[in-house]
Structure 1
Amino acid sequence: MAGKLGGAVISLFAVLVTSFFLFRIIPGDPVRAMTHGRPTSPEQLATMRRQFGLDLPLWQQFTDYCGKALTGDLGTSYQFHAPVGELIAQKVPATLLLTGVAVVIYSALGLWLGTRSAWHRGGLGDRIGTGVALTLWSVPSFWLGLLLIIVFAVGIGPVPGMFPTGGMQSGDATGAGQVLDVAHHMVLPVLTLVAVGYAQTLLVMRSSLLDEMGGDYLTTARAKGLRDAVVRRRHAVPNALLPTVTMVFINLGHVAAGSILVETVFSWPGLGGLFYQALSVPDLPLVQGLFLVFAGAMIVMNLIADLLYPLLDPRVGR
């Protein structure tokens, strides 16, 4: 456990370093972008660079950034003129709502369908399910989102537009009306995330279970007279869960990151849309803070999955 925790800390520090230098190579001048093309004198530009610390040597900017990040200070956004931590906290609920619902749905759906598909491999349901999953897994999420907007939001042919094209709410409703309004706006983005996510989960679970189905312990379980459903549920599935557990926890890490492309396509007011806005400037403190949060969530979820392995399969801890 100490080794895994140490590895997670090292990974987080590597992310800290990467998030600083990676976004320094993005083309564009943040100071000029903040002026939005307005006439600005060289003296004014120099003053703004000094105000944001962009006139300092790169090594000094890096040490200042690391020192503040270790104390929880992610800096101040260039374009919003507000602390990065506050901006992230404001957007977290919307992202958790959208991606959290999607992850729960497609994880449960993918595990169930993947198990059924592997257990009845070669059948009509397996061939259809695998073909659909392979197709959806290959489809870019933003393209699928745009397609759903065209068909179900704008309307095409006999299909009328039934859902909003974007946003999280369309009015000032309160109570039950607000809940229904938000749910109505969530349908298409959640459907986009579920379609791609369930396909990945199904294929991984199916492949993992197929590897276990030739095991001698399953033959022994059947020889003891156990029903097929019991053999699958109590013996085969638990041993096939390890790769899927890793993927599920990585997907839970994505809950913090949201889906940048899907949130942008549907104008969802979450962390993904905020990251896109920050990247377009580039708003370096905001981009770095969001990148650190996204990567940190992935590292933590992967660590939890590693620690759960011995509980699912005692052989891992030996």
Structure 2
Amino acid sequence: MTDALTTVEPPAAATPRGGGGGTLRYVLSKVGAALISLGLIVVLGFVLFRVLLPGDPVRTLTRGAPVTPEGAAALEREYGFDLPLWGQFTRYLGNLAHGDLDRSLVFKVPVAQKIGERLGPTLLLVGVGTLIAVVLGLWLGTRTAWRRGSRFDRTATGIALALWSAPTFWLGLVLLTATGGLFPSGGITYPDTPPDFLSQALDTAHHMVLPTITLVAVVYAQYQLVMRSSLVEEMHAEHLLTARAKGLRDDEVRRRHAVPNALLPTVTLVFLHLGLVVSGAITVETVFSWPGLGLLTFEALRFPDYPLLQGTFLVLAAAVVVMNLVADLLLRVLDPRVRAS
């Protein structure tokens, strides 16, 4: 009797998790959440500055000068303040869909134009400050973690916590007082600086010293403490024991194995907080009269300038949403655990 041959089919290959479909779903979900957040920001900006913020737009337009009822009515029609709130909101959405942020009540120019003029100084200050804060925070976080419990660790961590908890405006005023006029107290350049690039660049760098130090002092501690915590946790991993058993020196173990793994949460934190740093520069720019979006927001609040407030709020809040989206997408690229989920 011949034995029946049983055909055994190979098991079906398991579909890898986190493949192309999973990545697409992840990206679409994050982009969708960001768009919903932007929509809520648009609504919140209108409610905050058109409903809850007190003030008379006609008085702002005329700077308190006497105006006839006919003139006041004409100004209200020009800016749409004569419409009911629902009509004003519909007009606002229509203008926003065409990239029109309305006209500033105080500066009498399009809001988008005014924001564009002030965006460069803010990006310069925030960019330089964030770069220095990241480098300083990562370096100190690595050193304090590797020498945890030492006097250096206690001192550096204590200073970071103290600066992190200090009010930004107070720290800026302390620096202004302590330097005794060594650095400019406001502005971005002196009016009499020669127009050539080198002179302007040096003058701008001179004006940036105090606001940059203030911004770095209140930001770098976050990166230092997160990097320290991540590296301390990573130092107990088994693969570091294996690396030491192979004869690698401590510096090589830290540089090749411990630091790259500990960097992941810190890199994510950098992008998560980058948008917050942009919006948080309001205090620094106000203290040092730095002509960026932060100072522009403060100036708009003084009158108040409703269209300008709505525009700056939209830009600053959108920066937070966009940076959060970038952090979420970057996290999936860097962390294999997120790709596998």
Paired position in structure 2 for 1:169:
189
Paired position in structure 1 for 2:242:
220
Equivalent residue runs for 1:296-307 within 5 Å = 296-307=318-329
Paired position in structure 1 for 2:38:
12
Please identify, of 243-252 and 177-186, the stretch whose mean Cα deviation from structure 2 is larger: 243-252
Paired position in structure 2 for 1:82:
109
Shift of 1:256: 4.7
Paired with 1:17 and 1:292, the residues of 2 have a C-alpha distance of: 10
Shift of 1:234: 2.9
8 A Cα contact 2:268 2:331, kept in partner: no
Please identify, of 287-296 and 42-51, the stretch whose mean Cα deviation from structure 2 is larger: 42-51
Partner letter of residue 243 of structure 2? A
Are residue 180 (structure 1) and residue 195 (structure 2) matched? no
Paired position in structure 1 for 2:24:
none
Q: Deviations over 1:93-152 (max 9, x none)?
A: 111111111111111110111111112110111000000000000111111111111121
8 A Cα contact 1:238 1:312, kept in partner: no
Residue 294 to residue 180, structure 1, CA distance change in 2 (3 Å): same
Paired position in structure 2 for 1:37:
64
Equivalent residue runs for 1:51-62 within 5 Å = 51-62=78-89
Shift of 1:54: 1.0
8 A Cα contact 1:253 1:294, kept in partner: yes
Paired position in structure 2 for 1:96:
123
Paired with 1:211 and 1:67, the residues of 2 have a C-alpha distance of: 52
Are residue 246 (structure 1) and residue 246 (structure 2) matched? no
8 A Cα contact 1:141 1:261, kept in partner: yes
Paired position in structure 1 for 2:228:
206
Equivalent residue runs for 1:10-159 within 5 Å = 10-24=36-50, 25-152=52-179, 155=180
Paired with 2:44 and 2:232, the residues of 1 have a C-alpha distance of: 39
Shift of 1:262: 0.7
Q: Deviations over 1:146-166 (max 9, x none)?
A: 1111121xx2xxxxx311111
Partner letter of residue 84 of structure 2? P
8 A Cα contact 2:226 2:266, kept in partner: yes
Are residue 277 (structure 1) and residue 299 (structure 2) matched? yes
Paired position in structure 2 for 1:158:
none
Equivalent residue runs for 1:192-203 within 5 Å = 192-203=214-225
Identity over aligned pairs, percent: 59
Paired with 2:231 and 2:315, the residues of 1 have a C-alpha distance of: 33
Shift of 1:217: 3.1
Shift of 1:255: 6.1
Partner letter of residue 85 of structure 1? A
8 A Cα contact 1:167 1:185, kept in partner: yes
Paired with 1:233 and 1:162, the residues of 2 have a C-alpha distance of: 40
Q: TM-score, normalised by structure 2?
A: 0.86
Are residue 308 (structure 1) and residue 330 (structure 2) matched? yes
Residue 48 to residue 82, structure 1, CA distance change in 2 (3 Å): same
Please identify, of 128-137 and 297-306, the stretch whose mean Cα deviation from structure 2 is larger: 297-306
Shift of 1:254: 4.6
Q: Deviations over 1:76-104 (max 9, x none)?
A: 11111111111111111111111111111
Shift of 1:221: 3.1
Paired position in structure 2 for 1:262:
284
8 A Cα contact 2:118 2:292, kept in partner: yes
Paired with 1:42 and 1:230, the residues of 2 have a C-alpha distance of: 78
Determine which of 289, 312, 315 is the counterpart of 1:290.
312
Paired with 1:46 and 1:119, the residues of 2 have a C-alpha distance of: 69
Paired with 1:247 and 1:31, the residues of 2 have a C-alpha distance of: 44
* Secondary structure at the counterpart of residue 337 of structure 2: helix
Paired with 2:85 and 2:268, the residues of 1 have a C-alpha distance of: 37
Whichever of the two has the greater Rg, that structure is 2
Please identify, of 103-112 and 215-224, the stretch whose mean Cα deviation from structure 2 is larger: 215-224
8 A Cα contact 1:96 1:255, kept in partner: no
8 A Cα contact 1:136 1:195, kept in partner: yes
Shift of 1:210: 2.3
* Secondary structure at the counterpart of residue 105 of structure 2: coil
